[in-house]
Structure 1
Amino acid sequence: MGNREDLLAWARRFVDRLEGGTAGCVSFELCHAELILEGEEAMHGTAEDRTLLPEHRAEIAELCAFLDQTPQAVEPALLRGPDGSTRALPPEVYEALMVVVRALSEGKAVTVAPVNTTLTTQEAADLLGVSRPTFVKILDEAEVPYSRPGRHRRVLLADVLEYKEKRRTRRSRGLDELVELTEDSGLYDS
């Protein structure tokens, strides 16, 4: 998988082997040569979106059990084609496949959706699950860097994902502090 086109072609062949559906539970997004994995229900409106349903549950369960028993290897995983040729899988592709297999084995649907690494404010807002005006406020507060190549603001996907992780961490810390405060005041029985 030398370049982006090879990776996209391989991903499309992988997806084409599975039947698509309509409900998404896990999003698996191709971002150029980088794979970003998110556990969100948002569907992206590109023509290349595909949602996979866990139709072959017995085979998926066997594959998941096999992967769970496989030790972490130093060597890259290999993909064998129908003609017998093999290719080494980059670590991010292997990780993406692991996430897909686990989600399908849990009976969840998986959506594969290519996205750009530069986003509009609406695309970034959709990714964060907020309104566009709320995301613009986040930009105005300098929480996410942006550029303005013309009249409209653009943000990098990596910056939006970093903000999303920081927000998740802040929320988690806040909940931990709340539990601690309620335990200290005797309002919460553990």
Structure 2
Amino acid sequence: MAAINTDVQDSARYDELIVLPPSDMAAMVRLASLLKRHSEPPGLVGPDGEQVPLPLEVYEVLVQVVAAMKAGKAIAVAPLEQRLTTQQAADLLGTSRPTLVKLLDEHEIPYEQPGRHRRVRLSDVLAYRDRRRQERRARLDDMTRQAVEDGLYDASSEAYTQALRKARGKPAV
């Protein structure tokens, strides 16, 4: 079983915090089943038999981690104040490093530059990602509302194509 580094330093590599699901999923499936059967947080039993109740907050994180790993996903547990390199932040956003640097230069994401290299807080990257998701949802809602108002949901595919061409300023075919 892989350990999660709880003594995370600013210089720690983000990819070192990533834990892959186990190759033998049997134990993960049993744990997921146990967590699903019980609504109250379980306790932990130490190697010496000492029992400690699991705090609700830790239990909720454990449920999410187990569900992700059972689905074959890798996980990373990091403090929100963790500082990332520009490459790590770009990887997290699923974009290129030059694109991330452009976002930093445009003040879309705050950063620190203690020396030669910029550092970005994980919390700021996640906040940016959430803002972008909300903006995309709002644009999609607006486009859907406009399509309903224009009657495009009742239109044939040809009429819809013509309306798109018109909206894009292209001549009708």
Scaled to the shorter chain, the TM-score interval is 0.5 to 0.7
Q: TM-score scaled by structure 1?
A: 0.61
CA distance in 2, matches of 1:171, 1:121: 23
CA distance 1:68–1:178, shift in 2 (3 Å) = farther
Q: Is 1:108 aligned to residue 72 of structure 2? A: yes
In structure 1, the partner of 2:2 is: 15
Q: 1:131 aligns with which of 93, 96, 99?
A: 96
Answer 1 or 2: which has greater strand percent: 1
Question: What is the match of residue 169 of structure 2?
Answer: none
Q: For residues 30-109 of structure 1, what are the structure 2 equivalents within 5 Å?
A: 32=8, 45-46=15-16, 49-53=18-22, 55-57=24-26, 60=28, 63-68=31-36, 70-71=38-39, 77-105=42-70, 107-109=71-73
Instruction: Please state how far the C-alpha of 1:134 moved relative to its aligned partner.
Output: 0.7
Which sections of structure 2, spanning at least 5 residues, go unmatched?
A: 155-173
| The structure with more radius of gyration | 2
Shift of 1:68: 3.8
Whether 1:117 aligns to 2:82 is yes
- Of Structure 1 and Structure 2, which has the larger fraction of its residues in helix? 2
Unaligned runs of 5+ in 1: 1-13, 17-27, 34-43
Indicate the structure whose relative CO is greater, using CA pairs within 8 Å and at least 6 residues apart: 1
Aligned to 2:139: 174
Which residue identity does 1:15 align to in structure 2? A
> 4+ runs of 1 displaced by more than 4 Å?
28-31, 59-63, 112-116
Q: Which amino acid aligns with 1:84?
A: G
Match of 1:157 in 2: 122
Paired residue secondary structure (1:158): helix
Measure the CA separation in 1 of the matches of 2:143 and 2:23. 39
Q: What is the percent sequence identity of the aligned residues?
A: 41
